[in-house]
């Protein structure tokens, strides 16, 4: 039966891909995802649609119509589809098709694991697609670590917090390119974040 599988593929390395995700990818008629997501499955020879910020809606509509025509599609989401992933946009577009979500290991989960932070003692926040707001300032006062998925730019967060009188010595850990060979985990002060260069692929923790 045709179906749209919304599949979390984990933080990037195949070591964090679940057996379930791999099994469904292997039996799908088409793979849809970012360049980074598709790169995990070079051996798969079915049709592939590459998604980027500009063509996302078009590619998702194409995926939905492929499912409507009787095919099975694997829509790949880095990390987990439900945390700033593709689940929300696809639910907004979906027609009358069957959808199943396969969870994946989120970058924030791997970050918490690397830093040995129990989730129930932390606040998990996504700024993706939203940017920084005063809500973050309130969280920083509650004594728990704040695990943040940035809106691409760590400097934006650091600048906002410093402009709102957060202590420049406040301890921060940046987890960059988690699970990749060039993974980098650095501890620094909030003020020093502005002096370094980070890729868009980061999770930031403020202690």
Ligand X SMILES: C[S@@+](CC[C@H](N)C(=O)[O-])C[C@H]1O[C@@H](n2cnc3c(N)ncnc32)[C@H](O)[C@@H]1O
Where on the chain is the footprint of ligand X (CB under 6 A)?
11-12, 77-80, 83-85, 106-107, 128, 149-150, 152, 175, 177-179, 200-203
Would you state the structure tokens that stand for residue 95, as one six-digit string?
């027609």
Q: Which is nearer to ligand X, 76 or 140 (CB)?
A: 76
- Shortest Cβ contact with ligand X: which residue? 79
CA atoms within 13 A on the CB side of 106: 19
Residues 81 and 107 sit within 8 Å (Cβ to Cβ):
no
In whole angstroms, give the CA distance from residue 58 to residue 143.
43
Q: Which is nearer to ligand X, 39 or 65 (CB)?
A: 39
The alpha carbon of 169 is separated from its chain's Cα centroid by a whole number of angstroms, namely 28
Minimum distance of ligand X from residue 39's CB (angstroms): 13
Q: Which is nearer to ligand X, 73 or 103 (CB)?
A: 103
Minimum distance of ligand X from residue 66's CB (angstroms): 23
Q: Which is nearer to ligand X, 28 or 106 (CB)?
A: 106
- Among 121, 24, 16, 15, residue whose Cα is nearest residue 7: 24
Query: What one-character-per-residue DSSP string does 66-100 give?
Result: HHHTT-EEEEEESB-TTTTSSHHHHHHH--S--EE
Residues 48 and 17 sit within 8 Å (Cβ to Cβ):
no
Residues 159 and 194 sit within 8 Å (Cβ to Cβ):
yes
Minimum distance of ligand X from residue 202's CB (angstroms): 5
Q: Given the DSSP bridges, would you call strands 146-149 and 123-126 parallel, antiparallel or unpaired? A: parallel
Minimum distance of ligand X from residue 168's CB (angstroms): 23
Q: Which is nearer to ligand X, 72 or 107 (CB)?
A: 107
Minimum distance of ligand X from residue 84's CB (angstroms): 4
- Identify the burial level of 33 via C-beta atoms within 10 angstroms of its C-beta, where 0-12 means exposed, 13-18 middle and 19 or more buried: buried
Q: Which is nearer to ligand X, 141 or 182 (CB)?
A: 182
Minimum distance of ligand X from residue 92's CB (angstroms): 16
């Amino acid at each position: 039966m045709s179906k749209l599988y919304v599949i979390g593929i984990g933080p990037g390395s195949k070591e964090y891909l679940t057996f379930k995700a791999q099994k469904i990818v292997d039996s799908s008629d088409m793979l849809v995802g970012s360049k980074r997501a598709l790169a995990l499955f070079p051996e798969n020879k079915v049709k592939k649609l590459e998604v980027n910020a500009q063509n996302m809606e078009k590619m998702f509509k194409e995926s939905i119509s492929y499912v409507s025509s009787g095919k099975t599609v694997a829509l790949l989401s880095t990390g987990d589809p439900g945390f700033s992933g593709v689940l929300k946009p696809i639910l907004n577009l979906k027609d009358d098709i069957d959808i199943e979500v396969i969870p994946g290991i989120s970058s924030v989960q791997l970050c918490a694991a690397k830093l040995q932070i129990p989730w129930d003692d932390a606040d998990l926040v996504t700024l993706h697609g939203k940017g920084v707001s005063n809500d973050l300032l309130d969280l920083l006062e509650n004594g728990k670590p704040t695990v943040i998925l940035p809106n691409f730019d760590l400097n934006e967060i650091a600048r906002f917090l410093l402009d709102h009188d957060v202590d420049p010595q406040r301890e921060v850990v940046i987890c960059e390119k988690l699970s990749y060979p060039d993974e980098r985990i650095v501890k620094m002060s909030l003020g020093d974040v502005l002096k370094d260069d980070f890729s868009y692929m980061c999770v930031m923790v403020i202690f």
